[in-house]
Structure 1
């Protein structure tokens, strides 16, 4: 924002905002205008008081501090250094969490009293909705470094301040907190924004090195002398070459965005193979390597790694030992490109405050996908609470979701009820078939998502909640919103990222899915052997439209396995339900030409079917034989036997 907007322009813009509810263009910076508008929308008035609690309970502050130990540990030394740079400008250095609550402050003794009068102290919230336009809250809202000077603050009581703040991001681009310098606007430091931005980068680099110490770290700069400076790029790379962390400089150097972290191979952005990179490091560990980006830019790179990391390019066994466990989403991947694209998108936002909306027909595995997404993120050890909005009776859904206090209504539990929303605190809330939620409940849910708090039935006070939100539906929610059957504002709130899961008939990995289901069912029913499917039956099953999708296929196979007689290990027509046999035999047999035009690249020969499934699984597992065998639901020895003499490049 412009720190030197004239007082006359500020007064004119503020008066126009109060009179018309809109900030005129041209008078003030666009970000300032957006912030003032948000402040008005939050119910604040320039001459009014903040809507925040200046002194929350000590328990709340302790909880916030306990939730951010690494951020605090790595920020404090940098804050002390930063304070030394502004010590004589009557300023206070502030660290806030991702919601704008102040966690740690260092203040000039001459400025501390003024700062305390406007609650620039630990425990106070400086979120925009509570304090109006201010550097901390506006940096949160705009997700970038900002400076707010004097009368640019929305609340007039804060006009004596000049503030500069910068976000602090994790190695995966997640917002962790805000670093701020606030002082008397008459004595503000001329380079406060540059200082606080540089200090935030120092904290980010310290955090990246700490959180990615088990990974290979690549330090990048356009000049070898720049490596080790605050201006260097840092990339964390897994043992198999995937970028798993990066600072902002590295993202810019490599032409990447935060969402590309975790989904990009290093070889796709730098002209170097992991083996060559590590081989050079082993020969000359202190000498930077000259590399080029795929756009042709020259960068110098130096490898750093924890001493416990023992993988080398000449010892594949050691390298394989350090390959990280694949996440739960990857373990579900059996080779279909559409399903994988949905998983890759969802994986990029896991752990970030972005709601995910999973769309797809009934039975495609939306809840299975949601559970895997939860298990792939930082909340994996916290609760996963699933609620089927279509299955709870309407007269019970309110108390079921929001909970109730003792004696709130006739039939209420004597001890009260926590409610599913509060049960999800710290974890993931999964709302299945959200399109069937009654409109009245949609309104209450929207309020919960906006305020991040729940008011149980019969209670007078709201209770804070923190959960990741995943919703699922087979309905077209946008169409329902346009027709008034679903709240548009709720739709936009839950639609941070939409992923579409393909129907079973649209997937190219049918055989791999079937084999995995059979392996699971064989274990479930204690069969003790691998179940096969007769070739002609398998060809028919592969071209059947499966209106019930994976749920229908699983039920069919479960029944068929139960029908196997002693000594049988192959499913045939006689093991299929009669209605399915009728449907399968009524459909014309597909010709090879017809098979080529369908979305399923499936041949009618059993060997070709098996080989196609194996190829898909090996591709999904990137050549890892053990992982491919798990995806196919067979043993590694069986996979080797089916491959015969084939190589697995």
Structure 2
């Protein structure tokens, strides 16, 4: 097909004609035209991001690449002789791992089949990586399926990689610079890529579930122990803690839930999905023959299952950096990218003795994080917490630095150690440091600079050795610019800055919810949420963050019967807003689906299980326009 014919076909699709292309290609072309406003007549050069940006993307994907590497290399050995190159792109479409023949590097780089290439649809038009990110499905974009004329010689096949919480984490792609004419020639490529992704997801689940029971499933007993189709992890209370993408589809199908809503799967009792309890599932080990390990699913289907008992010691499984993380690190949150990045940083920063500044809204868990830093640091001294906003201004210096005998009216006759000295050999946590009076800031700066503390009214300084962690809900950099915080102290405190997101932005909210249900459960048994109560808690905006959520669960625990929390047991401020939250939840879901479909109304309607007319009516009701 020539350049002009290719453009004409795309324009016909834009006018609503059917040209015989696969629906996934047609939908992508329409997104390119309508949502991204791309011009098919304007050729775009391949985009290779800067070294700085590439380094950032690779650092964020480091753990996944580490786990995936053996699978990637195995796949490349299978396809290299057919001149394929292999790309692993992150969720933004940036290639973070690349395997290809070095002798073709110049051609591959020019074509964008190279490390650091960006293959998102808005940037590259219709392509396998971009379409995979948009749809969440394995697919092939072959030659003139590509939107941009510069990519039409290529044949690219990609499959999505999901993390253990059901979120898209990466895309695995194999591509050819030139290929056989027929698209069906890539069916085997799609099978190989999907199989590799399945093994990578399983390895990732095993790496993140060492203290949980792992259940692997297959439709036939012969494949159960060698190539399972799906897997999930279950904790000691029988609740789902993780899953492969096949596992998510299995659970969703069992309960009639859309697999694109993993928050409705994670944290649920495993008995909701299978006609068996935890004990029966845990007994399905290799002690019995594969054909005897049959399990009934709630939707009526039958599968074969293999149970792998929790691994307490992981010496023989060097798959992930997470294995070498101290136990305290695992209490930070669920297995989501933002928390995984925080874990990786803390594993290296905590033992370093560097001053750390924690930034985040009130109630996001800054002191909790500071205590974990102290626990991981290996320091033998105490953890001493000081709330700089809670101590009266006239007392803060004597509280921090101590005082000499008779230093002021009401001072103890023997004098007193300050909190800084109490932290000797340990960690001093200065919470709400932004509220510390300016005079006290000056004295604290001298302590940090000189390693000595001079008590109020004293004449002899005392040597001190401690690690300082500070926190503030204020943007300290803005306070410095406004002259309300000492710049030199700011730079003493912020050798490393860690930010905690507000609860409404945390992807691991279901994980946090489960930990609080365990915390407030009677006699060590976790509380149970009704479906309506769970949806209400997940939809709330939580302006008070984790502290507000903790209080809400404690309140409900005191009111509920038999350990089951209903909507009526929740605080009034939640239940009063239930109708509004339901409406907000519907609107949020609608906006999220339309955005994920890049404004394609047909695709959004298909995902929501409604017709286009109904979708248009709901969009008008909520005032939603297609994104541009």
Q: TM-score, normalising length from structure 1?
A: 0.49
Asked whether 1:428 is paired with 2:501, we answer yes
The residue aligned with 1:199 is 196
Structure 2 CA distance for partners of 1:144 and 1:60, relative to 1, 3 Å: same
1:429 Cα deviation from its structure 2 partner: 5.2
Q: Per the alignment, in what secondary structure is the counterpart of residue 227 of structure 2?
A: coil
Distance (whole Å) between structure 1 residues aligned to residue 506 and residue 539 of structure 2: 22
Q: 2:162 aligns with which of 159, 169, 178?
A: 169
* Equivalent position of 1:13 in the other structure: 9
Aligned-partner Cα distance in 1 for 2:24–2:191: 18
Structure 2: distance between partners of 1:81 and 1:75? 10
Rate the CA distance shift 1:65–1:116 in 2: closer, same or farther, 3 A: same
Which secondary structure does the structure 1 equivalent of 2:105 belong to?
helix
**TM superposition shift of 1:126:** 1.2
Contact residue 90 and residue 111 of structure 1 kept, 8 A:
no
Deviation at 1:613, TM superposition (A): 4.1
User: 2:541 and 2:68 mapped to 1: Cα distance?
Assistant: 45
CA distance in structure 2 between the partners assigned to 1:468 and 1:514 by the alignment: 19
Check 1:413–1:42 CA distance in 2 against 1; reply closer, same or farther (3 A cut). farther
Flag the 1:467–1:45 CA change in 2: closer, same or farther, 3 A. farther
Aligned match of 2:89: 96
Q: Where do residues 254-403 of structure 1 align in structure 2 (5 Å cutoff)?
A: 254=251, 255-256=253-254, 257=259, 258-278=262-282, 281=285, 289-308=293-312, 371=364
CA contact (8 A) 2:90 2:169 kept: yes
1:250 aligns with 2:247: yes
CA distance in 2, matches of 1:42, 1:244: 37
Shift of 1:48: 3.0
Q: 1 CA distance for matches of 2:24 and 2:500?
A: 33
Cα distance in 2, alignment partners of residues 203 and 94 from structure 1? 14
The question of 1:56 aligning with 2:50 is answered: yes
Say which structure, 1 or 2, has more relative contact order (CA 8 Å, 6+ apart).
2
SS in 2 for 1:95: strand
1:177-198: CA deviation from partner (whole Å, max 9, x where unpaired): 0100111233485322222122
In the alignment, what sits opposite 1:214?
211
Query: Are the counterparts in 2 of residues 10 and 27 from structure 1 also a CA contact under 8 Å?
Result: no
Instruction: Give, in whole Å, the separation in 2 of the partners of 1:77 and 1:328.
Output: 29
Taking structure 1 as reference, are residues 349 and 184 closer, same or farther at Cα in structure 2, changes over 3 Å only?
closer
Per-residue deviation at 1:205? 1.2
1:263 Cα offset (Å)? 3.2
CA separation of 1:161 and 1:424: change in aligned 2, threshold 3 A: farther
1:78 Cα deviation (Å)? 1.4
Aligned length: 385
Q: Corresponding residue for 1:82?
A: 75
- In the alignment, which residue of structure 2 is the partner of 1:224? 221
How well do the aligned residues superpose, as a CA RMSD in angstroms?
5.3
Contact 1:147–1:163 (Cα < 8 Å) also in 2:
yes
The whole-number CA distance in structure 2 between the counterparts of 1:198 and 1:172 is 20
| Contact 1:429–1:468 (Cα < 8 Å) also in 2 | no
Runs of 5+ in structure 1 lacking a partner? 311-323, 330-346, 353-366, 382-399, 432-465, 471-496, 504-511, 518-549, 551-611, 622-649
**Partner-residue secondary structure (3-state), 1:103:** strand
- Cα distance in structure 2, aligned partners of 1:515 and 1:74: 36
Once the 2 structures are TM-superposed, how far is the Cα of residue 210 of structure 1 from its aligned partner?
1.0
Aligned to 2:563: 618
Range that drifts further, 181-190 or 234-243? 181-190
Deviations 1:380-415 (CA, angstroms, capped at 9, x unpaired): 99xxxxxxxxxxxxxxxxxx99x99x99xx999999
- Per the alignment, residue 28 of structure 1 pairs with 21
Q: Cα deviation per residue 1:576-619 (whole Å; 9 max; x = unaligned)?
A: xxxxxxxxxxxxxxxxxxxxxxxxxxxxxxxxxxxx94544733
Cα separation, partners in 2 of 1:308 and 1:326, compared to 1, 3 Å? closer
Secondary structure in structure 1 of the residue aligned to 2:563: helix
Structure 2 residue ranges without an equivalent (≥5): 315-327, 340-359, 375-473, 510-535, 543-549, 567-628
Pairwise mapping of residues 450-489 of structure 1 onto structure 2 (< 5 A)?
none
Q: 76-85 or 180-189, which moves further after superposition?
A: 180-189
Q: Identify the residue that residue 64 of structure 2 maps to in structure 1.
A: 71
Q: Match of 1:240?
A: 237
What TM-score comes out, normalization by structure 2 length? 0.50
Q: After superposition, what is the alpha-carbon deviation per residue over 1:29-85, rounded to whole angstroms, capped at 9, x for unaligned?
A: 33223322333343433343548752413x322222222222111222112211222
Q: Are the structure 2 counterparts of residues 368 and 242 from structure 1 closer, same or farther at C-alpha, using a change threshold of 3 Å?
A: farther
Q: Distance in 2 between matches of 1:71 and 1:286?
A: 31
Distance in 1, Cα, partners of 2:238 & 2:199: 26
Q: Rate the CA distance shift 1:12–1:296 in 2: closer, same or farther, 3 A.
A: same
Q: CA deviation at 1:166?
A: 0.7
Aligned-residue offset at 1:252: 3.7
